[in-house]
Structure 1
Amino acid sequence: MIAVFWDLGGHASFRSVWHNYYSEVQGVMFVVDSSDAGRMEEAKRTLVDVLGHENLRGVPVLCLANKQDKPNALSVQELSRVFDFEKILGSERPFHVHPCCAIKGQGLEAGVRWLLAEACKVQRKTPTSSI
């Protein structure tokens, strides 16, 4: 299998172009700075907005809880409670919250393997052209 990843960046100024990629998406990897409690609500609102797009209906979601090496980082359980993933993601899509430390390369491979496995299971509707 060939996998293509797009790093779209989370800064607010980049978010306005994210929708241009949604029709090709087979899985979402959402990276959260788990040591930045002050931005959790913003991150949650962003995830809710993104996953509300019709082109992303049913796609699997991997939430990487990054910066687990920081002493003030929220654990996977704490992050799951703050985001209330069951409520915002519902039962229509597979999701997984995985701890990681990107700078040390810890947890990334296991998380990506989960996302790839789930993406292979999902049958997406491909847009049809009307001629």
Structure 2
Amino acid sequence: MTAPPPPSAPLPPPPSYEETLGSNNSAQNPPKGGQPPPYPHPGPAIYVQNQVAFYDQPVHMVCPSCGHLIVTHIDRKSGTLSWISCGTLCLLGCWAGCCLLPFCIDAFLDVDHNCPNCHALLGSYRRL
């Protein structure tokens, strides 16, 4: 390791925008003079599905599939709560069509979150 430059010596300028976005492969871009680059290049971001909280509203996130900054597209589908509510209403005597109301109310439906760019399924929110 080398000693830091004296206080009177000017610091080298930071790398340009193009240099920071350049390749992380040191074999393709060897450092000048055998010294390490002044700033380490960040690695790729890793996203774990369980770290993102999916609810019944769209989520602002980076898609782990395509890497774009997105707001998720949500699809509402009938799930366990919808069917249990429908069966309960049938048992209570609402068999003439009122038992189908849980399939029309958003509070009873499950939600799937998809990427609007690559259409990958990013996560789901299940009521039950």
TM-score range, shorter chain: under 0.3
Q: Tell which structure's C-alpha radius of gyration is larger.
A: 2
TM-score, with structure 2 as normaliser:
0.20
Question: TM-score by structure 1 length?
Answer: 0.20
Higher RCO (Cα < 8 Å, 6 or more apart): 1
